Amino acid sequence: MTTLVFLEHHEGEFVKNSLGVLGKASSLEGDTHGVVVGSGVKELAARAGAHGASKVFVADDPAVEAPLPQPRVDVLAKLVRDGGYDTVLFGQSVLAADIAAALAARLEAGLNWDLVDLVEQDGKLVGKRPALQDSVYADVGWSSAPRIALFRSGAFDPSETGGEAQIEDVAVELEDFSANATMVEQAHAESEGPSIEDADVIVAGGRGLGGPENFRLAEELAQALGGAVAATRAVVDAGWYPYASQVGQTGKTVSPKLYVALGVSGAIQHKVGMQSSGTIVAINKDANAPIFEFADLGVVGDLHEIVPKLTELVRQRKS
């Protein structure tokens, strides 16, 4: 089996999810290679060896500097055809989803998405996909090669093996239609901490905070803990916090070491996005809130009184 992993990067660093997928791929039988596409990315590509890639292809060209999907599909499609890869893996993101879908159409290949695991059974690759609101896992497969898979954020934690990868340059040859779209501007959300996908600590706020002005409680606690701030769908829909911070079935899936839920009821739609967190702490005045059923530590009380004291205690311990 020969596997190619798309290594997405942002601001000079690999996206955590793609490194996790690379590590998983390297644990399976066969050769695992990576591909990095962008401008000025050769130095970055060399780091992939430490995460399990034996070879990394580098498409380094100003023509693919902008994070647009079609030029990347051109690069990957040629690599897959020329290299005879039977498996192509992606970590979930907006860009990766676009590329994976377009690549499947270009190669007339099968695509399984939202996977949380990949195993070898009876000589075949079998994907594990959550179903029925994550209450069960379905086995999914492919009827032909190449097999294309898109993995849910947080499905695998990156791990370093300490190896080195062979770096091989590839020429960027774009189809005429791939140049039809150009990026005129790229917006960046202002943030003082890590993204919720990469954070080891997340402080999430729900409707129990009472209003958007009270999100400062979550922000101050997250800052003290060195974490990121997340929100529930109800909060996002109400306009209290940006959509990019939403965790849940229609938001992002996270798996931090510590997840602190402030005024979060714990509806199933939110649970599926954070249930794989290492330790879950819930603070809610409603003792019957569903989140207490799966929280590791529950505190019943007024978060407006508890959280400021908790934040101050964290600051004192760190000083």
Query: Domain with 34 in it: what CATH number?
Result: 3.40.50.620
DSSP 236-261: HHTTSS-GGGBBSTTSB----SEEEE
For the residues 31-60, what does the mean pLDDT come to?
94
Residue-wise pLDDT for 107-131, tens only, equals 999 999 989 999 999 889 999 998 8
For residues 168 and 215, membership in a common domain is answered with no
Under the banding of pLDDT at 50, 70 and 90, the label for residue 188 is low
Q: Is the pTM of this model over 0.85?
A: no
pLDDT of residue 54: 93
Q: Which helix (H) or strand (E) holds 114?
A: strand 110-115
* Range scoring the smallest mean pLDDT among 142-156, 177-191, 238-252: 177-191
Q: State the average pLDDT for the chain.
A: 91
State yes or no: pLDDT of 193 exceeds 70.
no
Residue 318's Cβ-count burial label (10 Å; 0-12, 13-18, 19+) is: exposed
For residues 271 and 207, membership in a common domain is answered with yes
Under the banding of pLDDT at 50, 70 and 90, the label for residue 182 is confident
* 190 token code pair: 């202002």
Share of the chain above pLDDT 70, in %: 97
For residues 36 and 155, membership in a common domain is answered with yes
For residues 17 and 133, membership in a common domain is answered with yes
Query: Domain with 261 in it: what CATH number?
Result: 3.40.50.1220
For residues 153 and 40, membership in a common domain is answered with yes
For residues 78 and 170, membership in a common domain is answered with yes
State yes or no: pLDDT of 254 exceeds 60.
yes
Could you tell me which of 291, 288, 272 has the C-alpha nearest to residue 280? 291
For residues 170 and 292, membership in a common domain is answered with no
For residues 133 and 23, membership in a common domain is answered with yes
Residue-wise pLDDT for 229-245, tens only, equals 999 999 999 999 998 89
Under the banding of pLDDT at 50, 70 and 90, the label for residue 180 is confident
Residue 48 lies in a domain: yes
Contact 57, 168 (CB under 8 A): yes
Could you tell me which of 162, 139, 152, 160 has the C-alpha nearest to residue 197? 152
> Domain containing 256: what range?
201-318
In the chain, how many domains are there?
Answer: 2
pLDDT of residue 192: 55
For the residues 261-271, what does the mean pLDDT come to?
93
Residue 189 lies in a domain: no
* 280 token code pair: 């879950």
Residue 217 lies in a domain: yes
For residues 248 and 303, membership in a common domain is answered with yes
CA–CA gap between residue 194 and residue 189 (Å, rounded): 12
For residues 153 and 276, membership in a common domain is answered with no
* 93 token code pair: 């993101």
